[in-house]
Structure 1
Amino acid sequence: MIRIKLAEVMGKKRIKQKALSEQTGIRPNTISDMWYEKSKRIDLNYLDKLCEVLECQPGDLLEYVPDNKE
């Protein structure tokens, strides 16, 4: 599974969801879904805007976590 680490990156940058929404043009509900890791997919345009505003790389926002299948 892929985790969206938006909350972690935003915490390091000390930016609130509302401010990120305003700076990126991404709807507040979408930011919230990514914050709480509820999103099932992420638009590449959103990823681009997030990286630009947060001054980070896609790898800073996304993490691969293997499923625990036996």
Structure 2
Amino acid sequence: MAIRVNIDVMLAKRKMSVTELSERVGITMANLSILKNEKAKAIRFSTLEGICKALDCQPGDILEYTNEKE
């Protein structure tokens, strides 16, 4: 996938658990796991906003484009 999801990096920087993030955002652990493991096909802006608010970061801190040919 050309879009990398760096939720783990931000969780480590903020010293926050996946459980705490899931509670703050109001997303199930299963859906958060799908995002973390880059299995998601899409993300709602409201979910992205909630994650950014909870982690005090920007969308670019969580989502990263990589060229698959590299």
**TM-score greater than 0.5 by the shorter chain:** yes
The CA distance in 2 between the partners of 1:24 and 1:9, in whole Å, is: 14
- Which residue does the alignment assign to 1:30? 31
Superposition RMSD on alpha carbons, in Å? 1.3
Q: In structure 2, list runs of 5 or more residues that go unmatched.
A: none
How many residue pairs get matched? 69
Counterpart amino acid of residue 59 in structure 1? G
Report the equivalent of 2:51: 50
Matched letter for residue 58 of structure 2: Q
Structure 1 residue ranges without an equivalent (≥5): none
Partner of 2:9: 8
Q: Whole-Å Cα distance in 2 between the matches of residues 14 and 36 of structure 1? A: 19
TM-score in terms of structure 1 length: 0.90
TM-score, with length taken from structure 2: 0.90
Deviation digits for residues 6-43 of structure 1 (CA, Å, limit 9, x no counterpart): 11111111111111111110111111112222222211
Q: How many percent identity over aligned positions?
A: 35
Runs in 1 of length 4+ with deviation above 4 angstroms? none
